[in-house]
Amino acid sequence: MKNRIEFKDFDLWKSINKFMDANDYLTTIIDHYKIPSDFLIFFSDLIFPEFIIIDEMIFLKNHFKEEYFNRLLKEKNSCSEIEYWMNLVLISSYFPDSDEFIDHALFLAEKLKKSIDLKLKNDFPNKMFSVDFTYDQDNGDVLFTFYQK
């Protein structure tokens, strides 16, 4: 990941709106594209999630799918494997299908890693977690997950 990612849209907007800041940019984009408030709430939950606990396993609440969980119970050998697959998020799916945005996906994955690691440590101080993201260069996927060690 580069030290500084390029914000082409923001930089262009900023060159026209010199006295505005990042918050003004967000407000402008939300208003212009009529982004629903539900989207903002769900996106904030991605960054600072709620968790559910099932049989001492910890999962992202808004990412939990019961049928998938039941299938993994039959297929996987350990709770860590089940947590790994249940908590797996395809970060690159949030970005246009372009290599140009891979740095943005990696940047978001790094931010998620930091925020979710802090949230897990706060919510479960007596548990140890592996919080990871990976970049599969063969297909351009950026993946994020966590599981108990």
Q: pLDDT tens across 53-102, in order?
A: 999 999 999 999 999 999 999 999 999 999 999 999 999 999 877 667 88
Express each pLDDT in 105-132 by its tens digit: 999 999 999 999 999 999 999 999 999 9
pTM of the model: 0.88
Q: In b/e form, how buried is each residue of 23-54, taking b as 16+ CB within 10 angstroms? A: eebeeeeeeeeeeeeeeeeeeeebeebebeee
- Using only C-alpha atoms, what is the Rg of the chain? 18
Contact yes or no for 53/64 (Cβ under 8 A): no
Q: Which residues pair with 59 in a beta bridge?
A: 52
